A and B are shown apart, each in its own frame.
Chain A
């Protein structure tokens, strides 16, 4: 029998896929040309990587603009969603690559060919994740991203801690992928679909899949576990502090920003698009996870003594805030559910800028002093007041002080939570933000109010580090003072294509 006879190749919109292709091609070209030529001078790999990511961002931006007139749709037989929600996430992902490439070019250990190639493949994985409209494609994206990040975490070959972080991340991440895959299998088993929209259609009808179908619920629960690991939600967070601390600082910043954007956006898309009919089942789970993540993240953050661990726990606590938005999005019957979707995206994108800037600052301080303990920050303000001021702005933004992007982000999710009447969650989120504020204050105290340690030395800021810090501080303040621009943008992002 000739099977090829009924095979209909899907129509491919090459231009719509161009950001992914650019990222992949960039990675391949860099690897191929780079490995056939002698080691390039410092910074050149970074320029190629940043240009590629920048190009992909521009292409994504062009399509974002084109979507004004065209309709949001799915590509390649419904496996890739082509909507503004995903395109904004792709632009954010490419932005993190550009910024991280700059930080890395400056780092003592990272300026090698593989690092940049892996950054580009991570970005490809992330881009696929955020726009995947099919469980298998989403899984593909997650694996591309995860594998790249495992290697990046271990990329400092001279530090045992880096190796350990990579291995730990790999083993635990492998577990999480298994959970995820099992969840995908169970959901497929119940619904016979892997397509997000298809799953939603099947589940909308309660006769095909009964309300309390155990297999489906188990599948959804396993998906929560898998995504919970990738987004580092409590109780699936235990890898985060160790990996963040062990990995080279420029990689940590990259993981914290790009990894978070990809995982959170994919999480939101999957649950909002596929399981609206089961929102009453998963929303309470998200509610509990959000509370645990917020409280545990912020409480454990304040007892740390290493700045990278502190920021790792703070990233966990921020993930809790993003869940507050997802919880609001789970009130599907409420007219404000779409606020939940857009506020989560706003939060994660703004957070990624803060994380990039903060880790770049940590990287600057730790470069001269290797250690990233809080003591390394003693008296930084005495030696480098402008640098300290910039870092302080980023820290205050993470604490959610008004006139910074952090406040806009927090206000957005709190607003979504309140308008869906999740008052308890909103209050717990704000109180945990206060607890977390203590952590940022500790870093600020160390920088501004502690006497400089004689053993620490001032490190001059290189040009890339300056650029990264200036850009992230500028975005933080600009969005904080004129949130209008971002809000208008994100308000148009609430429709997810099926």
Chain B
């Protein structure tokens, strides 16, 4: 199925995916070029670039063909033919919403959060980051993907290191080195995949679609390569035990950095596991499932317990990310239509709700200059609207039915139940724990009588309210009416599961679910 559809190109006649990468880059260059002479234009230029990208990504969403499970809007050009490397871009239902999420999130944080100093380089780095993130979601060439995957480190490093909080240099360096250590294995894995597939493909190529369709690797080779890929993505996700960079990076990053980090950067890990891990090495993915389930469930439980114990509100949200991403990995490797759809959906949901949580925590910090839960009390009395927004976002993160988090989590749990029963049973405890740590935190921060320091807590400003309303709108819409999203995700997910079934003796359990 993938074979024929992979070649389908868009009839748009306009390289929309390349534009999604180029527009933010042009914006960044424009900032470098004349930003110094015209400081009043910097914000405007950054906004124009990011809003254009966002608009293009929304247009992509609208033009996306729901019936087509393969890659759409494909753009294929030679880049380094001597090495079999091409500029090959495309989106399918799995990457579509991640691209849209990226496109939407960046203008929101650029418009909604101001840096404390040096606005111009800050905005330039954000735009470079956007180009890199979009690039890694739409790359269909392993080499190209690696380039974007690595290049993202540089802007993020400078954003954390330059505009973060007290421990920023430590956190930025740790982030850079952890991810790069993972990439060391990824690069060797990528080259080895291309080399070892040479015999079956007929030539050296880094083209993901060709490698997945035509390549065949020996069982051992496939497993080793999968391990190399999985290490890199596990660091990025992050999975236990390589998650330790995440709480530091999240806590020390400036608010916009945390939002982007949680919103889209972590998804590069789960997306990578799905697109490259499962798609290229189906046999090895089936083989490695028990280990990945176990790591995912450890992440869920450990993240939840660690979050409960945190004294710092931002760290709490960071650890909750570890738990949430555990669910996504569980769903990804459950390899059923439902669980995978839930996983892809949850990638987006987590980006929206955790991103919004980081924004809220950032706003608290701006007002009180502390993130210590113990020092905050009774905010609900002085800032009821703020508390209301916090409540909705928090409930979405907990997974309350009617909000977006529920749909994804429910699909993951129900879809994984057949293939990963005992892990799911343990993992479900994590859902309860999520309610525990978030509600407990809410209670400590917002309930009670405000003391002297908290009495002056300012209510939500208009700009902040508009920013959060955008997030809440997505949260509620997806929670109430997930169909438009699921109908775009499902065909690609089904094709992926079929791809695995064709190449292994794994069979998805059939239950005759209502409607099928």
Contact = CB atoms under 8 A, between A and B. Distances in A.
A437 B176 contact: yes
A310 to B, nearest CB: 15
A434 B177 contact: yes
B188 A418 contact: yes
Interface stretch (B151-159, B315-323, B357-365, B476-484): B151-159
A445 B158 CA distance: 9
Interface stretch (B161-169, B375-383, B451-459): B161-169
A140 interface: no
Contacts of A62: none
A427 B184 contact: yes
B134 to A, nearest CB: 16
Q: Max chain B CB contacts within 10 Å: which of A401, A448, A449, A488? A: A449
A410 to B, nearest CB: 8
A438 B169 contact: no
B191 interface: yes
B213 interface: no
A403 B154 CA distance: 12
A418 B191 contact: yes
Interface string A414-435: 1100110001001100110110
Interface in B294-330: none
Given A419-B195, A441-B173, A441-B176, A449 B168 contact: yes
Interface in A362-410: 396, 401-403, 407
Given A401-B154, A449-B168, A487-B80, A418 B185 contact: no
B188 A430 contact: yes
A433 B158 contact: no
Given A423-B188, A434-B180, A415 B83 contact: yes
B158 A415 contact: no
A449 B161 contact: yes
Contact of B162 (A431, A449, A487, A491): A449
B26 interface: no
A437 B146 CA distance: 17
Contacts of A43: none
B82 A430 contact: no
A401 B150 contact: yes
A282 interface: no
A411 interface: yes
A156 B1 CA distance: 71
Interface in B192-221: 192, 195
A491 B83 CA distance: 11
Chain B at the A interface: SS class: helix
Contacts of A401: 150-151, 153-154
Contacts, number: 79
Contact of B173 (A396, A438, A448, A484): A438
A415 B181 CA distance: 18
Interface in A429-461: 430-431, 433-434, 437-438, 441, 445, 448-449
A136 to B, nearest CB: 38
A445 B161 contact: yes
A448 B83 contact: no
B184 A403 contact: no
Nearest to A484: B80
Nearest to B143: A411
B8 to A, nearest CB: 28
Contacts of B55: none
B187 interface: yes
Nearest to A487: B82
Contacts of B474: none
B435 interface: no
Contacts of B161: 445, 448-449
B146 A402 contact: yes
A448 B146 contact: no
Interface in A9-63: none
B147 interface: yes
B146 A431 contact: no
B82 A488 contact: yes
Given A401-B153, A434-B180, A449-B161, A427 B195 contact: no
A403 B151 contact: yes
Contacts of B169: 445, 449
Contacts of A430: 183-185, 187-188
Contacts of B151: 401-403
A433 B186 CA distance: 13
A433 B184 contact: yes
Interface string B127-165: 000000000000000000011101101100110011000
B13 to A, nearest CB: 26
A426 B151 CA distance: 21
A424 to B, nearest CB: 10
A402 B150 contact: yes
A402 B128 CA distance: 14
A437 B148 CA distance: 18
A230 B180 CA distance: 31
A334 to B, nearest CB: 11
Interface in B59-85: 79-83
B195 A484 contact: no
A483 interface: yes
B177 A437 contact: yes
Given A402-B150, A419-B195, A427 B173 contact: no
Contact of B158 (A418, A419, A427, A448): A448
A427 B188 contact: yes
Nearest to B224: A423
Nearest to A430: B184
A484 B81 CA distance: 8
A423 B189 CA distance: 9
A415 B191 contact: yes
A428 to B, nearest CB: 9
A439 to B, nearest CB: 11
A355 B255 CA distance: 37
B180 A487 contact: no
Nearest to A408: B80
Contacts of A491: 82
A249 to B, nearest CB: 26
A172 to B, nearest CB: 33
Contacts of A449: 161-162, 168-169
A418 B192 contact: yes
Q: Max chain B CB contacts within 10 Å: which of A402, A415, A434, A484? A: A402
A414 B154 contact: no
A414 B385 CA distance: 56
A403 B153 CA distance: 13
Contact of A484 (B82, B147, B176, B188): B82
A423 B192 contact: yes
Contacts of B158: 448
A426 B173 contact: no
Contacts of A448: 158, 161-162
Contacts of A484: 79-82
Interface string B33-69: 0000000000000000000000000000000000000
A121 to B, nearest CB: 37
Contacts of A488: 82
Contacts of A411: 187, 191
A27 B135 CA distance: 52
A317 to B, nearest CB: 14
B177 A438 contact: yes
Contacts of B181: 431, 434
A488 B195 CA distance: 19
B160 to A, nearest CB: 10
Contacts of B195: 415, 418-419
Contacts of A419: 191, 195
B177 A402 contact: no
Contact of B180 (A414, A426, A427, A437): A437
The 5 closest A-B pairs by CB, nearest first: A430-B184, A402-B147, A418-B191, A426-B188, A434-B181
11 contacts: A402-B150, A418-B192, A427-B188, A430-B183, A430-B185, A445-B161, A448-B161, A483-B80, A484-B80, A484-B81, A487-B83
Given A423-B188, A427-B185, A487-B83, 4 more contacts: A411-B187, A419-B191, A427-B184, A437-B177
